[in-house]
Chains A and B, each alone.
Chain A
Amino acid sequence: MRTLRFLLQKEFRQIFRDPSILRIIFVMPMIQLLILPWAADYEVKDINLAVVDHDHSDYSRQLVSKITASGYFRLQDYTASYQSALHEIEKDNADLILEIPASFEKHLVKEDKATLFLAVNAINGTKANLGGSYLKSIIQDYNSEVRTEWIQFPRFSPETQIEVTSSNWFNPLMNYKYFMVPGILVILVTMVGSFLAALNIVKEKEIGTIEQINVTPVKKYQFILGKLIPFWVLGLLILSIGLLISRVAYGIVPAGSFLTIYVFATVYLLAVLGLGLLVSTFTSTQQQAMLISFFMMMVFILLGGLYTSIDSMPEWAQVITKINPVSYFIDVMRMVILKGSSLGDIKYHILTVLGFAVFFNGWAVISYRKRS
């Protein structure tokens, strides 16, 4: 116990003496949490639209003004030739082309039916997809508006219409920041928990101080605990700073209790610290540890459900997310912050992550040899 106390004292002294670690701990979360959520925006706005109007009728003008009034589209070009509109797409000035055929109005009025042509620039997949579907729903809206205008009588509309209204549970305003900020915070805690710890241990190997420790009576578990406890504390500290920033900057107040978050984070940090320890046993220089960390971080982020929904991933990728501790924490954070889940709701998450903790730490301790 006494030895452990001195090891911890030494460790904290070194951590707080290293300006780069301090910067990572305090400045990184601020920058990431204050800037990234604004950039990681799912909403697509300012879609550039080119309209090719062969009709120049009242109805076609009505349609175009309805589209531009929605606020999502910017009318970039209004021409009479498809070629020139396509040219705009080639120059990347337009994302969508809406072609209104000649006699659009005539067909609509006389034959009760008219066609429109929509061409989408699919280089930016998300923008094309969303832009296309926005435009479709606006046109649909326009369609039904035109219809109701015509069929004023009789009282009961002969047209059967199903109107769908939706309400967003747990995030009524669909504020994506409520959704992104907890996720980014998880990534931060993971980075501190696993990779800073791994780098710290590997540094001792690289400089050779581990040799000097190894010839002392310091025991294996003491050395490991001396390394893990400081980063466990730092992880919880980062989490607290992050929650404070999300409160102050985004007004995010967890619907659930802080206790639930901290209980889970405590267990979660054990798991990622074990992972860091494992990385450190398999590497001998900080550079190696760094590169492995980068690789794992990419996998964690892209297969963790931070930016893309896990449910929409292919089957095999969903299997990988099951062995990704980050995906559990992201899930828990969203559940607790948005939905107000309690400890009972996340018990399977806790148990799974506890399993990870036992597995990673067990493996790391076995492969960590004080004597080679």
Chain B
Amino acid sequence: MRSVTVNNIIKRYGTKKSFTTALEGVSFEVDKGELFGIIGPDGAGKTSLFRILTTLLLADGGSATVDGLDVVKNYKDIRERVGYMPGRFSLYQDLTVQENLDFFATVFNTSIEENYDLVKDIYSQIEPFKDRKAGKLSGGMKQKLALSCALIHRPSVLFLDEPTTGVDAVSRKEFWEMLKKLKEQGITILVSTPYMDEAGLCDRVALIQSGKIMTINTPEGIVNAFGKKLLAVKSDNMLQLLNKIKACPGVADAYPFGEYHHAVMENGGTKELSAYLERSGKAFELKEVTPDIEDCFMALMKN
């Protein structure tokens, strides 16, 4: 059985006359126990999608099921078995760590003791501060508390909306470690993120842009589907260089990428580009690189 199915979901905001479309016919499926990433820039529609799947928002079109239940008809049952961690920290800041966890356990008719094994790895890290008010925790600790609260009723599907936005690099890494462990418990995890580098940590990812899914594949599959030669070029005058690369025949696309410019070759390779650039007589450094998710995203966006 598929854990989550999304079928041609449409969501618009605004009035009938003037509206913005947040989701334009999104469809995908997530298997049980899969770590599925939804990757896209801000405003791509990730949060709208998550709110529809967690029964907080009604879609304007299409259908979706979570754990085999329809998000409209069986919303009450879905609420029993999903865990949702919104992008913004939304626990009770004036309750302590322990009180928050206790509260969310009781509203799900369970107790901390009952599911302690599930949250142990995460909760044990903040347990020394259990009498501290949630509002007084650091960003990373808030994150862990929010994840603990979303997990305390042993959900079958976990929705994490941009869990790593605004979290430092070490905490981000830790967070993904925790997700991997949770996956081993058989929990389906849907996670959205604007960070392309996190795509590689998911089993499968959907790249989303302006309310449309551009591709769904494993991270390796997406990279393999790139299909073109990618070159990285660096010189003293980067702006001039970018214009020059763009002018070179055979270059499909060029964009800044860290300290290098990436050039996607329509035809030809290292030889053609370096020959073209040598004509201007300026020194440059050129090498062939393997594309990553971000390159794929750029390429998909162009199409």
Chain A residues engaging chain B, CB cutoff 8 angstroms: 2-3, 6-7, 10, 13-14, 17-18, 207-209, 211-218, 371-372
- B90 and A217 contacting across the interface, CB-CB below 8 Å: no
B residues 107-121 touching A (CB-CB < 8 Å):
107-109
Q: A212-B84, A212-B86 are in contact. List 15 more A-B contacts (CB 8 A).
A: A2-B106, A7-B107, A17-B95, A208-B86, A211-B90, A214-B56, A214-B79, A215-B54, A215-B55, A215-B79, A217-B79, A217-B107, A217-B109, A371-B57, A372-B58
Q: How many residues of B contact A (CB 8 A)?
A: 28
CB-nearest residue of chain B relative to A214? B56
- A3 and B106 contacting across the interface, CB-CB below 8 Å: yes
The distance in angstroms between the C-alpha atoms of A45 and B86, with both chains bound, is 64
State the majority secondary structure of interface residues on A: helix
CB neighbours of A218 from chain B (8 A): 107
- B58 and A371 contacting across the interface, CB-CB below 8 Å: yes
- B99 and A13 contacting across the interface, CB-CB below 8 Å: yes
- A207 and B107 contacting across the interface, CB-CB below 8 Å: no
> CB of B176 within 8 A of chain A?
no
A sample of 16 inter-chain contacts (CB < 8 A) reads: A2-B109, A3-B106, A3-B107, A7-B107, A17-B94, A209-B90, A209-B92, A211-B56, A212-B84, A212-B91, A212-B149, A213-B107, A215-B54, A217-B80, A217-B107, A217-B109
- B106 and A211 contacting across the interface, CB-CB below 8 Å: no
The distance in angstroms between the C-alpha atoms of A68 and B187, with both chains bound, is 91
> CB of B93 within 8 A of chain A?
yes
- A14 and B95 contacting across the interface, CB-CB below 8 Å: yes
CB neighbours of B89 from chain A (8 A): 208
The distance in angstroms between the C-alpha atoms of A272 and B106, with both chains bound, is 30
CB neighbours of B75 from chain A (8 A): 371
CB-nearest residue of chain A relative to B155? A215
- A13 and B95 contacting across the interface, CB-CB below 8 Å: yes
* B 49-75 to A, binary, CB cutoff 8 A, 1 in contact else 0: 000001111100000000000000001
> CB of B2 within 8 A of chain A?
no
The distance in angstroms between the C-alpha atoms of A211 and B106, with both chains bound, is 17
CB-nearest residue of chain A relative to B58? A371
CB neighbours of A217 from chain B (8 A): 76, 79-80, 107-109
